[in-house]
Amino acid sequence: MIAGVQLFCRLMMTAIRGQMQYRGAFLLMVLGSFLTSMVQAIGIWALFDRFGNLGIWSVAHVAFLYGTINIVFASVDITARGFDTFGSSLIRTGQFDRVLVRPASTVILVAAREVALHKLGQLLQGILVLIYALVALDIDWTLGRLALYIFAVSSMYAFFYAIQIVRATMSFWTIETLEILNTISHGGMETAQYPMSIYKESFTNFFTYVVPLACVAYFPIVGVLDMPDPLGSTLLTQSLAPLAGFVFFAVCLSFWFFGMKRYQSTGS
């Protein structure tokens, strides 16, 4: 396990060094991703400014959820790049052969192949929004709340990472891009940026029981912010909900290993 983490870091550093060879392009991309996501955040702020709060959710409350989600999603984008480009760069070309002849976990080897450093701009935006929320809300950070927040963030990370793994796994069956899965990854991110209670019940149920998005984001964050929940969750369910993210990750991981057996390679 420790050796695996070491190898992961070593390969990541190699990938970062490879990218740094093109420094100018890198800086422009970071700036671009920062500006795009900043414009988005300002758009949301403008809406709130005009129409007021979302029920009991003030701008600052939503910003807390929004900033957290964006930080997690950007972190996943940065570190799951190898899975993101898996179909096009490893399957289509048969380069996955090269991964399979190495005596290390395929998950580590694929994940650490590439780093999407240009998504640092989105990460920065998330951090700024979160700082704004923290200043505006003045949350009473008890040990329990802090623990729940960390638990929720790591579970969100596992959740969104798992979706990237599923997307990559699909390319063992088809190398056509599967836009439908983007509705869960990017669509999921945008859904989770707002409190679940504003959506229709069927929608909320789907994102709780089928794809446990609400379990990793909305419920624990409601717990951290100590807000009443129209959906009826209690502090106990809010604290346990993030477990679903790790279960989801485990399920997706076994799907990956199942898919690997289907790998057909390409002619030499």
Binding segment for another protein among 34-42, 54-62, 100-108, 179-187 (CB under 8 A)? 100-108
Tell me how crowded residue 48 is: count the other CB atoms within 10 A of its CB. Answer: 16
Tell which one of 52, 97, 142, 254 touches another protein (CB under 8 A). Answer: 97
Q: Are 240 and 223 in contact (CB under 8 A)?
A: no
Length of the chain measured in residues: 268
Helix/strand/coil for 196: helix
Q: How many residues bind another protein (CB under 8 A)?
A: 26
Q: What is d(CA 76, CA 80) in angstroms, rounded to the nearest whole number? A: 6
Binding segment for another protein among 7-15, 60-68, 178-186, 190-198 (CB under 8 A)? 7-15
By CB under 8 A, tell whether 98 contacts another protein: yes
Q: Which of residues 109-138 bind another protein (CB under 8 A)?
A: none
Q: Which of residues 185-244 bind another protein (CB under 8 A)?
A: none
By CB under 8 A, tell whether 1 contacts another protein: no
* C-beta of 53 vs 265, nearer to another protein: 265
By CB under 8 A, tell whether 2 contacts another protein: no
Q: What is d(CA 46, CA 120) in angstroms, rounded to the nearest whole number? A: 24
CA dihedral (202, 56, 66, 205) in degrees, to 10, reads -10
Q: Are 68 and 160 in contact (CB under 8 A)?
A: no
Binding site for another protein (CB under 8 A): 3, 6-7, 10-11, 14, 18, 21, 94-95, 97-98, 100-105, 174, 176, 261, 263-265, 267-268
